[in-house]
Amino acid sequence: MAALGTRVTTTTQSKLMPKLVDTILNSNVLASRVLVKASKWNGERMKFPIKYAKNTTGASFSGFDTFSTTATDNRVNLEYVPKFYHMDVALPLDELSANQTEEKVLDLAKLEVASTAQDMADDIGTLFYGTGTGKDFLGLEAIVDDATNASTIGTLSRTTYSTLNSTVTASSGVLSLAKMSTLYNAAASGSQKPTLGLCSETIFALYEQLLQPQERIAKDVPMMKSMGNMGKVGTGYIGGTGFTGLFYKGFPVLADEKSTSGVLYFVNEDFLDFYALPVAMTEAIKYRSQDIEGNDYSSVEGLGFSWSGWMKSQNSASIVGHVYLGGELISVNPKRHAKLTGITSV
């Protein structure tokens, strides 16, 4: 770019626009949807009683037939403990001093916290598709699983309690409507059915190829589903910046750049929640920022993000703070999720 002459540069000020444009963060669909409707964590662990077997003592009878008096024990607790993630924010005092003059366009400290929180949410979006190894949050590769990646879920063995297994089907490379229908039927039962499809952009494009021209109708799907009774997910979609989705059997299929390659997930969001636990001695934050544009994060708010506050460095003219997220991604009924793996073509 040719520079203007000194006649202009010595007589005309530069203009810094009052917006930061993000050119690095990409889509983060799953994390956006679960964090924006996060539930509150309570206690040192969360326990969810589940029924894993039927009472089998029922029988037809007549007259003075003797009834069974066998007690049935068919319930057990899924147990989850909270996990935590952090990211640092550090600034030198000389830069903060210069930013506090009359020529300030953007607040450096506030912008840095907001930007860091968004970077952290991007990291968490990756973890939400992982296997929950070590200290990581659980991800779909652990939740939507048949003991291949995660032999236990909520401290329970999937071998012992087989109803905790999701349906996992190998596609043998090819995606078809018939395979999607079989996957859907495996996860659905009566009114319990998948509410969301998640996949990479590549698989999203493959699915689009399967549709007839009149069916290729892309609709905006808001980040958040409407909330029903007791904080559970309802049936409608409300508010928020939308993602572009194609629909299958009445629910949206969304492309998420964080999604595992070659995998199409069908999840029931009634049984997928992030329970958030703010870190002690911090203040809750919302990482909405009107000063950042160009990504999916600027309008997302949710529980669990907290801020340590600024702390002065011991041996330098600087301050540092920490953004935290505590809690866990939890499913109390993995049986209602399913995935098709190894997809490469149609």
Find out whether 33 and 48 touch, Cβ atoms under 8 Å. no
**C-alpha to C-alpha distance for 280 and 84, rounded to whole angstroms:** 12
Pairing, β 46-51 against β 75-80: antiparallel
- Longest Cα separation, the chain: 111
What is the full DSSP assignment across 307-323?
Answer: E---EE-SSSSEEEEEE
Q: Which residues contact 264 (CB under 8 A, 6 or more apart)?
A: 175, 180, 183, 197, 198, 199, 203, 207, 253, 339, 340, 343
What amino acid occupies position 26? N
Strand pairing report for 292-293 and 20-21 = parallel
| DSSP notation for 87-116 | EEEEEEHHHHHHHTSTT--S-HHHHHHHHH
Measured at the CA of 144, the angle between CA 143 and CA 148, to 5 degrees, comes to: 90
In order along its 346 residues, the chain shows pLDDT tens digits of 566 666 455 444 554 444 445 444 467 889 888 887 889 999 999 999 999 999 989 999 999 999 988 888 999 999 999 999 999 999 999 988 888 887 776 778 888 887 888 888 889 999 999 999 999 999 999 999 999 999 999 999 999 999 999 999 999 999 999 999 999 999 999 999 999 999 999 999 999 999 987 666 666 675 556 543 333 333 334 334 467 789 999 999 999 999 999 999 999 999 999 999 989 998 877 555 665 565 666 544 555 788 898 999 989 999 999 989 999 999 999 999 999 999 999 9
Question: How many Å apart are CA 230 and CA 270, to the nearest integer?
Answer: 11
- Pairing of the two strands 273-276 and 318-330: antiparallel
